[in-house]
Structure 1
Amino acid sequence: MIEEDIEVLTNANESDWIRRLSLINIILEPLKTIRFNFLGARPMNIRNTTDRYGALSIGIHWLMLLMFIAVYACIELHEFFPKGSDLRATLKTWHFMLGLSILVLAPLRLIVYITGTAPRIEPDPSKWQKQSAKLIHVALYALMIAMPLAGWLLLSAEGQPIPFFGLHLPALIGKNKFLADVIEEIHEAGGTIGYFLIGLHATAALYHHYFVRDNTLRRMLPNRD
């Protein structure tokens, strides 16, 4: 019973953060029985299995990819419009709001990852490939958190309003032009690094799919077997 599991965890001699993660896993455990049918694919478990990522992980992964594409598209396209134009300002606003949306989703994705089962890759990749994949994933999670926060800090230092889908978020720091210039440079450098990391991640997935012919990419696709 879930209630009994929670009582055991509460009384166990574990550190607080381990108990919290365990409790989250127990709360999410019943979701493993829920199955989804996505775009004509076979019904999938919402949670991960040993063979394939679940609907929750797959949904968050591809949603965040679309959001990354939109974030980059907005900031690149805004350069085609004159300064002071409404469309340029709108694209910058959407760039910021979508970036903050990634920041909101990143902890959820991390919780799902930590509390879930990592589907095995068949055939098993080499040790250096596993370590490289872990490093890239850590860097991507850092990007998901650091870049939106940098954008929030940038608007704060510039003294600009901080919109978020009808809400106005508080400034994280006071207005400071020098600091704004520094943060802007860091933010732009981070954006360039993001292009590299996302491209490397995608290239690795395609390499495994078309050349190694393992199930690395298929694990993150709806089940059509």
Structure 2
Amino acid sequence: MSAPARYSRSAIALHWITLLLIVVVYAAMEFKGLFPKDSPERAVMRMLHSSCGMTILALTVARLAVRLFSRPPAIVPPPAQWERISAGIMHAALYALLIALPLLAWFAISAMGGTPHVWGIPLPSLTAEDKALGKAVIGVHKLIANVGYALIGLHALAALKHHYLSRDDTLRRMLPFRA
């Protein structure tokens, strides 16, 4: 039996690096609350959260470029039409999440009068200072981030469903090693 068709090496690498950074982003925000305000540890958690988040934005743009120039491999055996449609909606939602969250954070920090930094490099402000607007945008950012938990969980469950129940090659196409 021949090896299953796989995503390109760049698509696979970008996928798994993005996942690793997502784990760091979410963990940094969860752990931030363990440290006193204005403590160096809390500042490190905020820096990790924002820098990894903006790195995810850059990687997502790269992922979209890779996806534009290389078709995903076919799934064997082919899934039902409803599964293909669901997967398309899920992927669109995940890409929207990975783009919207960093941009909302950048906008909110700018509106709050702060200067966003990525790995110590300051970013330009996206808007004039308006603390009320900044707080509202942070609220939207947090809401979408919470939706992200569900989307990521559903994405992982769908991959496991395809692997263990449907017994197709959906998961194997994206694994960083041959399975």
TM range (shorter): over 0.9
Partner of 2:159: 205
State how 1:47-126 maps to structure 2 within 5 Å.
Answer: 51-126=5-80
Name the amino acid aligned to 2:26.
Y
Residue 194 in structure 1 maps to residue 148 in structure 2: yes
Partner of 2:107: 153
Name the amino acid aligned to 2:167.
R
Q: Where do 5+ consecutive residues of structure 2 fail to align? A: none
Name the amino acid aligned to 2:22.
F
Q: 1:162 aligns with which of 116, 141, 165?
A: 116
TM-score normalised by structure 2 residue count: 0.94
Query: CA separation in 1, counterparts of 2:173 and 2:108?
Result: 38
Query: CA separation in 1, counterparts of 2:177 and 2:143?
Result: 38
Q: 1:196 to 1:159 in 2, by over 3 A?
A: same
Over aligned residue pairs, what C-alpha RMSD do you find? 1.2
Structure 1 residue 224: Cα displacement: 2.9
Name the amino acid aligned to 2:166.
V
Moved over 4 A (4+): none
Query: CA separation in 2, counterparts of 1:77 and 1:65?
Result: 18
Q: 1:184 aligns with which of 138, 154, 167?
A: 138
Cα deviation digits, residues 159-202 of structure 1 (max 9, x gap):
11211113111110111111011101101001011111111100
TM-score normalised by structure 1 residue count: 0.76
Residue 127 in structure 1 maps to residue 115 in structure 2: no
Query: CA separation in 2, counterparts of 1:210 and 1:80?
Result: 38
Query: CA separation in 1, counterparts of 2:53 and 2:42?
Result: 17
Name the amino acid aligned to 2:38.
G
Structure 1 residue 223: Cα displacement: 4.8
Q: 1:222 to 1:90 in 2, by over 3 A?
A: closer
Query: CA separation in 2, counterparts of 1:97 and 1:223?
Result: 28
Name the amino acid aligned to 2:53.
G
Q: How many residues align?
A: 176
Per mean C-alpha deviation after superposition, the further-off stretch among 213-222 and 57-66 is: 213-222
Query: CA separation in 1, counterparts of 2:90 and 2:21?
Result: 19
Cα deviation digits, residues 6-49 of structure 1 (max 9, x gap):
xxxxxxxxxxxxxxxxxxxxxxxxxxxxxxxxxxxxxxxxxxxx
Q: Where do 5+ consecutive residues of structure 1 fail to align? A: 1-49
Structure 1 residue 117: Cα displacement: 2.0
